[in-house]
Amino acid sequence: MNKNELIEHIAKYADISKAAATRALEATIGAVKTTLKKGGTVSLVGFGTFAVTKRAGRTGRNPRTGEPIKIKPAKVPKFRPGKALKDALN
């Protein structure tokens, strides 16, 4: 499912226009991004939790030349599914 298909699904099941569904989805994604940028977490009970973790710097290799390169430390988003989501899949 891509973003457009998700918007169509939201519009159909929430009985709202596609424009309203687009605005709702964009607002939700924006809220998650803003919260994660500030270092917070977003917990949706029954669905899962979005959080930020730190990845340490390390040495990697350029696959083309085999030359060692330094990879900077980074903050990366993580998603941990909730129990209800896991149970729905099994």
Q: Is the pLDDT of residue 90 over 90?
A: no
pLDDT number for residue 26: 96
Report H helices in the chain. 3-14, 18-37, 83-89
- pLDDT tens digits for range 8-56: 999 999 999 999 999 999 999 999 999 999 999 999 999 999 999 999 9
Q: How far is residue 20's CA from residue 1's CA, in Å, rounded to a whole number?
A: 19
pTM of the model: 0.78
Contact assessment for residue 69 and residue 60, using Cβ atoms and an 8 Å cutoff = yes
pLDDT tops 90 at residue 6: yes
- d(CA 62, CA 7) in angstroms, rounded, equals 40
